[in-house]
Structure 1
Amino acid sequence: MDLLLSPSFPSHAKDLMTKHHTPGLAIALVQDDVVHSAAYGYASLHPPEPCTTETLFDIASASKSLTAAAVALLVEDCERFPEVRWGAKMCELLPEDFVMGEEGWTREYTVATHLIEHKTGQTFPDFLEERFFRPLGMDSTNLQPARARSKGLGPRIATGHTWLKEKGEYIAFQAVESPEDQGAGSIMTSVNDYIKYIRAIMNQSPPFTETVYRGLLKPRTIQDPEGKDKLPFTSPVLYVAGWETVYYRGYEVVSHDGSVTGWGSTHFFLPGLGFGGCVFGNGDEAFLVAGVLMREFIDAKLGMSEVERPDWDGILSGQEEDGDGDEEERLRQELCPGIEGAQPQELPLDGYTGDYHNAGYHSYVVQVGHGGLFVDATDRSFACTMVFEHVCGQTKYLVRLRDFLDGGEDLVKAEFRLQGGKAVAMGLGLEDEMEELIWFDRV
């Protein structure tokens, strides 16, 4: 708490916000049952609206912890739902709706919300409100911005911002509905509300029992087992259920970041010290600001002197830059090992054009444009365009996927399956955590 309450902290926070183009920032910390919160900057730049501790943010993937907690409540209710248990396969719990039996698919968050709705007869937003938000007094927290707006909370929702470096200006936009990622994001909340959730899970107070708590924090997978991206004084990351855990200087830290176009967040707690918090911002790099401040708060809590504390801004910023690397060349080599330069496109482009459909991702229409194959998918919540660049074999491509909202660009792999010189299916690398491509059948 001392760092947040220190006279020098506001200027430090604002310096980080300026460096990382984050217009508004809100913070709440809890020590046992004592909470302090603060806010800086602007929830909206045009017109200027100050950011407050009651400003609502999209906390993106930090939302996953609530989905995991919701499943944990079903696991604990063994009388009503004896079949819902940790380790159960979704294909067994939802045999009519989910057929993939591999273990890795049992933790998919959107499917988990369908399980909750199927078993309880409630919509997932209603379940969250009844079991978490209302009992904890989180009166301003909702799933999806439309639900918040329907309750008259629209004026409190922060505007999302993306910094255009080449123009030296922001793009501003309102929070949009994203029903397809229900369970993996789109919780709209304030730090004053969300800290109540952090306090409840950390202190194992209702609705969190010891059984629920232990089920949530049981280690399930090891991220980066070789420790290539390990941070100073920090163990490898263990993914639990909607959270990540590490040991920092011997203390367990439970946390999870969230990042989506225009917003970023983190939430955390240290079980052994009764200390936790949340940091939300409304810029693309807000997650970076949040990650720096979380670690600075932890160092201060552990009594680290200034000389003992790592330069978290330098470390995390450098890690982000290093992560970019030569992504294009890496993907080219994955598609076509040993290739030097792209091979020419020889087959006529009209052999690839047409409608491609996937039951989960709906349809993409491949057409000719921008000097090659092109997709205009600006008609959906994940609005984007795709430009295909041939790499090899007349089947393997790199795709420049440009986010229509913020202009940001990602590189993804793509592949076509051909029969008789005509494409019959298209695979796209739309999911970072999957090695497999998402396949679309040509219709």
Structure 2
Amino acid sequence: MTFTPFTADFDRRVADTLQRWRVPGVAFSVLHKESSWSKGYGLADIESKAPVEHATTLFFGASTTKAHLCAAWAIYLASDANQSKPPDERISWRTPMATIIPQDFVLSEPTRTAQVTLEDCLSHRTGLPRHEMSTKKGTLRQITRNLRHLPMHNSLREEHEYCNQMFFAASYALEVVTGKSASAFMKETLWHPLGMQHTYGGLRDARGAGGSIAQGYSWSKFASDPEWENVELIKESALDAPERSGAGFIVTTVDDYAKWMRAFLQPSTGPLNDDIVKNLWAPRSHLSPHDPINIPFEGVLAYGLGWFITTYKSNLVHWHTGEIDGYGALVMLVPSLELGVSFLSNGQTAHTSLKGLAVDLIDILLGDSRHEVLEKMDRFFIDDSRDHAEKNRTARQRLYPDAPPTPTIPLTLALKDYLGTYRNIAYGPITLNLLQLGDCTTQFDSTTYLVCRTMQNHSLPRTFTFTHINAENWLVTRFQTGTPVVNPDNSPYRTALRARTLVSTAGQVEAIGITMEPALPDFFFWFMKES
């Protein structure tokens, strides 16, 4: 019997899920053997009431981009341009990055610089943590050269440690060896041969082609909030960040992603081949099978080159999610069933809240019509939201367990002396201003004085607030969306950090140290005050 995914029953489940989690819109594509189906649900823009069209509505694919970069590298490695080189100049997955881009790929540890290979970068096993806020507007070369200022966390190949920075470096290396932008090389070797005529390398590329990009949205509350029914949808500005090439810049449609999935499930029909796909899917780093990202899958959890690898009901699954301000995505391939499912959405946490719908399609094909995975994912989404909300609520107690409930030691200087611009060699400049009532619709704690509305020249716009704890110690709250802070006490997109200010013997603020990388909670990055 021919598998038909978009039944009236499935349509109802999609509508119910979109309503439950306040997701504006989503488009699905399903590939099964020789057949493919796509369908859009909901709205691409709430204000204009424009519907999601599966063939033409563009979304950010976010981190599903990583598989494209890895596939592009695989094509280059197998190309005559590479294979015709003398053996000592030929690049392979195990070639050290410092050999490919020697002047630019320099890490904070000289030994690590010499050891890190191309496949280490593309499988998240270099030991470098995210350092997400170090990514500044500019070129891929500039971002790559900034790696030398970023401290490591784990040993090489010891742990899976997700890191976009290394994908930026690998994207730059691809540009160096091909003499083309990563976007141009992907178009030439992947997207156009596959007929992906509505896939673009970033916002400018998509808009330049006249594409219709869905408006992205985030939420003002956690899904676990008792007042979730009154949640506000926040319009997010589409990120114009070409420097995120290779890690999260792709803009595409689900119709094109059906073609992308076929390239892996039926590699003989496109620019990839069986050997390339097998290599890309070979595990390189391993995660705990109990990692929350593995829900609702089971068993081993690994990462290949741009793909997570796990099992579901004894079937091997290759998948990747994506999240960027205002958008969520998922691509999931089950080779044993010749099945691929993908969705693109204009809701920021849709990669989690809608994941159950994608897995439900696997269940349908397996003859399981109980839809238990939907209930499981709904419970997980609520529990995960509740855990994050509790983490927000207890941030002060967690980071400053010995601090009094209110400051007992005042700041050394007047508040105005702390204002101004500070600069760190790795993270760039921040400018501190007095917090004004207009910065938020909910009043902050009376000891929250300072705000950095964005890190200047930064790839991802963010807002920082500084709450005085005691003496020269501060609680920094980083709001992970570029929009104004709607509800600081219950914002789903925030991270708590520690900071301390340094006052010189001359009675001037010299610097502010901030634990910018959550994986390094005791490492203070010192931002020196500029005159």
Aligned to 2:127: 104
- The one-letter code of the counterpart of 1:139 is Q
Identity of aligned residues (%): 26
Judged with a 3 Å threshold, the aligned counterparts in structure 2 of structure 1 residues 439 and 14 are, in CA distance, closer, same or farther, namely: farther
The range that moved more, 116-125 or 235-244, is: 235-244
- The one-letter code of the counterpart of 1:420 is S
**In structure 1, how many angstroms separate the alpha carbons of the residues matched to 2:101 and 2:8?**
55
The alignment status of 1:158 with 2:214, answered yes or no, reads yes
Judged with a 3 Å threshold, the aligned counterparts in structure 2 of structure 1 residues 22 and 207 are, in CA distance, closer, same or farther, namely: same
Gaps of 5+ in 1: none
Please give the per-residue CA displacement for 1:281-310, whole angstroms capped at 9, x wherever unaligned: 112232234311121112222222417656
The alignment status of 1:410 with 2:417, answered yes or no, reads no
8 Å CA contact retained: 1:232, 1:310: no
Judged with a 3 Å threshold, the aligned counterparts in structure 2 of structure 1 residues 168 and 84 are, in CA distance, closer, same or farther, namely: same
Moved segments of 4+, more than 6 Å:
none
Judged with a 3 Å threshold, the aligned counterparts in structure 2 of structure 1 residues 425 and 294 are, in CA distance, closer, same or farther, namely: farther
Aligned to 1:84: 91
Matches within 5 A, 1:38-53: 38-53=39-54
Matches within 5 A, 1:105-120: 105=128, 108-120=166-178
8 Å CA contact retained: 1:335, 1:396: no
Matches within 5 A, 1:294-443: 294-306=358-370, 311-328=375-392, 331-332=395-396, 335-336=399-400, 339=403, 341=405, 343-344=407-408, 345-348=410-413, 349=415, 352-359=418-425, 361-369=427-435, 371-377=448-454, 382-391=460-469, 394-395=472-473, 397-401=475-479, 403-405=481-483, 407=485, 408=491, 409-416=493-500, 418=502, 420=504, 424-430=510-516, 440-443=527-530
The alignment status of 1:251 with 2:274, answered yes or no, reads no
Structure 1 length-normalised TM: 0.87
8 Å CA contact retained: 2:287, 2:302: yes
**In structure 1, how many angstroms separate the alpha carbons of the residues matched to 2:424 and 2:283?**
33
Shift in Å at residue 261 of structure 1? Answer: 2.1
Shift in Å at residue 38 of structure 1? Answer: 1.0
**In structure 1, how many angstroms separate the alpha carbons of the residues matched to 2:36 and 2:300?**
30
Structure 2 length-normalised TM: 0.74
**In structure 1, how many angstroms separate the alpha carbons of the residues matched to 2:452 and 2:377?**
38
Aligned to 2:192: 134
Shift in Å at residue 347 of structure 1? Answer: 2.5
Superposition CA RMSD, Å: 3.1
What secondary structure sits across from 1:140 in the alignment? coil
Judged with a 3 Å threshold, the aligned counterparts in structure 2 of structure 1 residues 263 and 229 are, in CA distance, closer, same or farther, namely: closer
Aligned to 2:59: 57
**In structure 1, how many angstroms separate the alpha carbons of the residues matched to 2:524 and 2:365?**
44
**In structure 2, how many angstroms separate the alpha carbons of the residues matched to 1:179 and 1:359?**
22
**In structure 1, how many angstroms separate the alpha carbons of the residues matched to 2:63 and 2:515?**
20
Report the structure, 1 or 2, having the larger strand content: 1
What secondary structure sits across from 2:204 in the alignment? helix
What secondary structure sits across from 1:355 in the alignment? strand
**In structure 2, how many angstroms separate the alpha carbons of the residues matched to 1:437 and 1:411?**
15
The range that moved more, 317-326 or 254-263, is: 317-326
Give the one of 227, 235, 241 matched to 2:299.
235
Judged with a 3 Å threshold, the aligned counterparts in structure 2 of structure 1 residues 169 and 239 are, in CA distance, closer, same or farther, namely: same
The alignment status of 1:214 with 2:278, answered yes or no, reads yes
Gaps of 5+ in 2: 113-125, 129-155, 157-162, 222-226, 437-447, 486-490
What secondary structure sits across from 2:299 in the alignment? coil
Please give the per-residue CA displacement for 1:152-181, whole angstroms capped at 9, x wherever unaligned: 22xx21111234467654333552302332
8 Å CA contact retained: 1:171, 1:406: no
- The one-letter code of the counterpart of 2:210 is G
- The one-letter code of the counterpart of 2:412 is L
- The one-letter code of the counterpart of 2:199 is T
8 Å CA contact retained: 1:395, 1:418: no
Judged with a 3 Å threshold, the aligned counterparts in structure 2 of structure 1 residues 415 and 169 are, in CA distance, closer, same or farther, namely: closer
Shift in Å at residue 394 of structure 1? Answer: 2.4
What secondary structure sits across from 1:95 in the alignment? coil
Judged with a 3 Å threshold, the aligned counterparts in structure 2 of structure 1 residues 128 and 190 are, in CA distance, closer, same or farther, namely: same
8 Å CA contact retained: 1:377, 1:384: yes
Please give the per-residue CA displacement for 1:213-236, whole angstroms capped at 9, x wherever unaligned: 233222222233665775356124
Judged with a 3 Å threshold, the aligned counterparts in structure 2 of structure 1 residues 368 and 243 are, in CA distance, closer, same or farther, namely: same
The alignment status of 1:35 with 2:119, answered yes or no, reads no
Shift in Å at residue 75 of structure 1? Answer: 3.4
Judged with a 3 Å threshold, the aligned counterparts in structure 2 of structure 1 residues 232 and 53 are, in CA distance, closer, same or farther, namely: closer
**In structure 2, how many angstroms separate the alpha carbons of the residues matched to 1:430 and 1:209?**
42
**In structure 2, how many angstroms separate the alpha carbons of the residues matched to 1:395 and 1:335?**
11
**In structure 1, how many angstroms separate the alpha carbons of the residues matched to 2:244 and 2:12?**
36
